[in-house]
A and B are shown apart, each in its own frame.
Chain A
């Protein structure tokens, strides 16, 4: 079983929508909505949050995503009422609810432990963290564009850094579910892998690239299993991720 995720929102619709969106990229991960009051109104429910934590926790831990401030307070209060042993497995992420839930779900799906799932959520953007992340994406892209010209002549060169190209054939490009599958596949290798200059194991950076159908991707890999990684990722891109 994987780490579970609880989505706490003032609105039942928001919580259910976030669960639906994140679940699309994370088959088999327990993602549970706790939105609205007990009467179905706008607000948060201590009982709903407590129940959702119980449903999401398979023993591997739970990461909670919240929207506005009082959702965090309700979640914290629910934690106060757990047994010490249960509470130790549950954390509240300081992350934007949508981006955080998506990143957490993918990290849970790829077998990340509780802290890895938390870290994925918390680096998913929002406020200064988002600015830092976007700056990182731009820096990565800048590095990629300068380095690609110098490396192009030596596709297999230096300390075993390999470069391959692949063209996106599927309709939605490297977005949402395909991006998640790409990250899942890349995460299975030890090699350091980049796609168009950004970390191929970071879902949000890949999605931020916005590569659509017809885009040519430059994949690089460095490490003992670099060749196998590139073979697998190029094959995945060529396959169109199962889309038309």
Chain B
């Protein structure tokens, strides 16, 4: 079943909750190889998003909600994640403008545009030890699942699983972008915090989609 505005609202609420629950984990990860503010910044941003997205009119489309997520993250997160996630949601919402419901193709289009937005903004590639190491495998897995005719919930579950594996793959890497790039080999053995928050957000999407499918 295609996913509508209620799915997006549930996804955002679940993301806010997951970020809040993992706030100290994100702070700890970022303190190891960054400036330590990722958990706090993301929590502040998604808390604001949860409030703002509740104010939208009843006839708002998924793209409308996603655009509010984008602008709210951009103006509230503070660290690099604000422009990065903000641009992701902005470009992603642009890819699904006008649709009242998101089918598998729209979900893949959203994820692809979101990832491309992050690359545009942060100039990172796979292997740089950034959130792109979670996003790109997620996009690839979602596209493969969609081509195999899987449901929306299965597509998002595939994306979340791939993001998780991608986040784990950052452990042995030396960072080539972001604050951790100043640390050289000292970054080895630590997971990139942005790849972990990406996984949380995509996992929230998969759970919201599974819930929507179960209650349909």
A interface, CB within 8 angstroms of B: 37-38, 41-47, 68-70, 73-74, 76-77, 80
Contact = CB atoms under 8 A, between A and B. Distances in A.
A107 B179 CA distance: 31
Contacts of B87: 77, 80
A43 B40 CA distance: 12
A46 B90 CA distance: 15
Given A46-B83, A69-B177, A70-B83, A76 B121 contact: yes
Contacts, number: 49
B121 A43 contact: no
Interface in B69-99: 74-76, 78-80, 82-84, 86-87, 90
A45 B78 contact: yes
Contacts of B86: 46, 77
Contact of B83 (A37, A41, A77): A77
Contacts of B79: 43-44, 70
Given A37-B78, A38-B78, 14 more contacts: A38-B75, A44-B79, A45-B75, A46-B86, A69-B122, A69-B178, A70-B80, A70-B83, A73-B83, A73-B84, A74-B83, A76-B121, A77-B74, A77-B82
A44 to B, nearest CB: 7
A41 B36 CA distance: 13
Contacts of B35: 42
A41 B37 CA distance: 11
A-B complex: 4 closest residue pairs judged by Cβ atoms? A70-B80, A43-B78, A73-B83, A77-B83
Contacts of A77: 74, 82-83, 86-87, 121
5 contacts: A42-B37, A43-B78, A46-B74, A73-B84, A76-B83
Interface residues of B, number: 20
A74 B82 contact: yes
A70 B122 CA distance: 8
Nearest to B91: A80
A46 B80 contact: no
B41 interface: yes
A46 B177 contact: no
A43 B78 CA distance: 5
Contacts of B78: 37-38, 41, 43-45
B177 A73 contact: no
Nearest to B177: A69
A18 to B, nearest CB: 20
Interface string B174-203: 000111000000000000000000000000
Contacts of B178: 69
A37 B177 CA distance: 22
Tell me which of A38, A41, A44, A70 has the highest count of chain B C-beta atoms within 10 A of its own C-beta. Answer: A70
A49 B177 CA distance: 23
A46 B179 contact: no
A80 B79 CA distance: 18
Contacts of A74: 82-83
